[in-house]
Chains A and B, each alone.
Chain A
Amino acid sequence: AQSVTQLGSHVSVSEGALVLLRCNYSSSVPPYLFWYVQYPNQGLQLLLKYTSAATLVKGINGFEAEFKKSETSFHLTKPSAHMSDAAEYFCAVTGIGFQKLVFGTGTRLLVSP
């Protein structure tokens, strides 16, 4: 079975500050990991994905994440937050074959001026 745990249902940062959203995974097989963003009343948009290539993954909108097997983590970071980054962020895991994405409960990012 696979699962992800997102620490913190809400994260608040000031505009220009570092963004760090935490995700830890559990998987009995080599995992593939994803971060999605969801803006209000919209579907999910893929930010970035780890599929066993480079452990440091760069995504859209200046986000990146690092796969750390020893820590079973895949935290999402961005050096400088923008107001437009305010949204819900979901970490997800799947195994070989990509047959089933298992999502975390999400972290709402709040960005203040």
Chain B
Amino acid sequence: EAGVVQSPRYKIIEKKQPVAFWCNPISGHNTLYWYLQNLGQGPELLIRYENEEAVDDSQLPKDRFSAERLKGVDSTLKIQPAELGDSAVYLCASSLVEDEQFFGPGTRLTVL
């Protein structure tokens, strides 16, 4: 069984540029999560989807961040424009049953 797939694995951009991250969850997992992990910290939830519906986006900075999960499968997280403080690892996770989330390898973003 394939795990959660994320791309790209690494991204370097200049500030004020847009960037997008893609996530393909494990097949059949209806819940998808995007987390932000700053250096030396634990992951923090940005947004949670149940199928195609964003059921918790309270921690998503909506002035510059957006996300979508069309057709309830893969998902894209976008930042526009990126700021220096956005440098972090962006993790995607998915789950079938509520008590176990499976994480992808993450996308490491560096904003110069």
A residues in contact (CB < 8 Å) with B: 9, 32, 36, 41-46, 49, 51, 90, 92, 97-101, 103-106
Contacts and interface: CB of A to CB of B under 8 A. Distances in A.
The 6 nearest A-B residue pairs measured at CB: A103-B42, A43-B103, A98-B98, A44-B103, A43-B105, A43-B104
Interface secondary structure of B, over-half rule? loop
A103 B44 contact: yes
Given A43-B3, A44-B43, A46-B102, 15 more contacts: A43-B4, A43-B103, A43-B104, A44-B93, A90-B42, A92-B42, A98-B98, A98-B99, A99-B56, A100-B45, A101-B101, A103-B43, A104-B42, A105-B41, A106-B41
Contacts of B101: 46, 101
Interface string B86-112: 000001010000111111111010000
Interface residues of B, number: 22
